[in-house]
Structure 1
Amino acid sequence: MPEIPGFWDIGPHDPLPVEATWTDFITSAGGKRVSELLSKSPDFDNADYLFEDIGAVLELKEIETEFLRTEAAQCGFEALLARLVKEDPTWRPLLFGGDGQYPAWFSTEFVRLARPALLRVLKKANRQIRETKEFFRVKKPYGTLIFVNDGFTGMAPVLVHALACDALVHSYSSIDCFLYVTVNRYLEITGSNEPKLIWNPTYSDRATDEFVQFIDDLGRMWFSFLDQKIGPFTSRLETGDRSALSRSKAIILPHEDRSPRRVELR
């Protein structure tokens, strides 16, 4: 891969405004912004986009918050560390001369700290998609949550994805596709020296072949759109295979916070 000047210092391109960029893209792909289809302020919290020809309703959620930095999560994290030290008084993090290895239970408990905040995102998106489908009398199970994760880097992408998908199996039946995307946050993939932007859809068992093809085509149009937006360098990862996420981690640029409280669990 040719050297990209300044990549590891400032990133490959100036940050794109996520909502405005996605609105431009959806319009170029033949979709419409739902708010423009409503003649007045609706009495419901609508989703963002509608593809009338296929009957697909899409809601965009941009994750900018480090969920693990909330006060509740920090208190929970301190409790986990207290339990860890109580069980093993010799344990030390890598930063302070330890081996940095966590016991098996720690990963499960650590992931749970982010669950409430993530479930709030899923719950709201589910309601917006459901009520928009009802308003437009959309019958097909083609509800899509576009989950743009540029900000939540305190947990490996595969864990964020797994946490969301586990919740979607049991609840939130209006979300038929969970689309994990990055716009300004590049990922490092094991075995590749190219930082990647990702497009990773996961479907419910209600998804039809038509719907899957629609999302796949939309993904290819998205990367072509980005090529026009930021230049020919868009190293992409378009896959529905969770194993690709298991080999990835967010690239943290030098100017970003590298607090000792960051815990990398895969």
Structure 2
Amino acid sequence: MQSKQLEVEFDYFMNSIQFTRVSRDVGESPNFKNADYVNVDIQTVVELKVIEKDYFENGGIIDSLHSFLPKPIEVNEEGIGLYELRLPEKNREGKHDNFEEPLRRVLKNANRQLRDTRQYYFGKNYSNGYVIIVISKTSLIDTFTTARVVKKLLDLEFSSIDGAIICIPSYSSEIEPECVSVTNRSKPETEMLCMSIAEEWVQFSKSRK
């Protein structure tokens, strides 16, 4: 599913749960980096990030989870066969890792957009900020593994992101959509809303098949 198509799908979905496009209020070129959606009544801002690159096209390593994801080449139904894994370049921490640094950049941008948009609508009043991360291409990475890396990063930095919702859309009628949520360690009170958005997206996606 292409990025533009996904954005249209999420426009429909967010509208169905009473979120509107921030651009309707601030225009297409505001003087700050805005997030995508807002629900003023529940004081919540959401930024959508679509990851189109497959970081594990040739297999890879997630150093912080002490795990590797080999790419199957010739594998039978029992999972026995030939796999491939290409060692990635070292990241800024001097570790071989395919995923954490690109994901950190995604979250860094989202953090700024959520911070500035929350300030625009709510100032110093209470508000929530979530990022929805959509993995748009078939990959070896799954929602739960991605969520573990996101959770680690949120617990260390990015104070304007209260929670993250990680989704893999359905590519065919045989494949069910996946969506999981994680919350910032310092913001446990936002967990129920974050989980609710994730669950509603799965139901919405199933209804669109």
Shared fold (TM-score, shorter chain, > 0.5): yes
Shift of 1:28: 1.7
Q: What letter matches 2:20 in structure 1?
A: K
* Structure 2 partner of 1:142: 128
Match of 2:193 among 214, 222, 243: 214
CA contact (8 A) 2:165 2:182 kept: yes
Shift of 1:185: 5.0
Q: Deviations over 1:171-221 (max 9, x none)?
A: 1111111111112358xxxxxxx8432121111234354x33333433443
Between Structure 1 and Structure 2, whose CA radius of gyration is higher?
1
* Structure 2 partner of 1:87: none
Which one has the bigger strand percentage?
A: 2
* Structure 2 partner of 1:128: 113
Q: Give the TM-score normalised by the residue count of structure 2.
A: 0.72
Match of 1:19 among 2, 7, 19: 7
Q: Deviations over 1:48-100 (max 9, x none)?
A: 0001111111000111111356xxxx8xx7xxxxxxxxxxxxxxx976x9875
* Structure 1 partner of 2:150: 164
SS at match of 1:67: coil
Q: What letter matches 2:193 in structure 1?
A: F
CA-based RMSD: 3.3
Q: Whole-Å Cα distance in 1 between the matches of residues 29 and 82 of structure 2?
A: 57
Q: Whole-Å Cα distance in 1 between the matches of residues 143 and 196 of structure 2?
A: 23
Q: Whole-Å Cα distance in 2 between the matches of residues 137 and 180 of structure 1?
A: 26
Instruction: Report matched runs for 1:88-237 at 5 Å.
Output: 110=96, 112-137=97-122, 139-151=125-137, 153-184=139-170, 195-207=175-187, 209=189, 211-230=190-209
SS at match of 1:43: coil
* Structure 2 partner of 1:252: none
Matched, 1:31 2:11: no
**Bigger relative CO (Cα 8 Å, ≥ 6 apart):** 1
Q: Whole-Å Cα distance in 2 between the matches of residues 17 and 123 of structure 1?
A: 24
CA contact (8 A) 1:141 1:176 kept: no
In structure 2, the gaps of 5 or more residues are: 61-71, 75-79, 86-94
Q: Whole-Å Cα distance in 1 between the matches of residues 33 and 142 of structure 2?
A: 31
SS at match of 2:208: helix
Matched, 1:44 2:50: no
Larger mean CA deviation between 15-24 and 217-226 belongs to 217-226
Paired residues in the alignment total 181
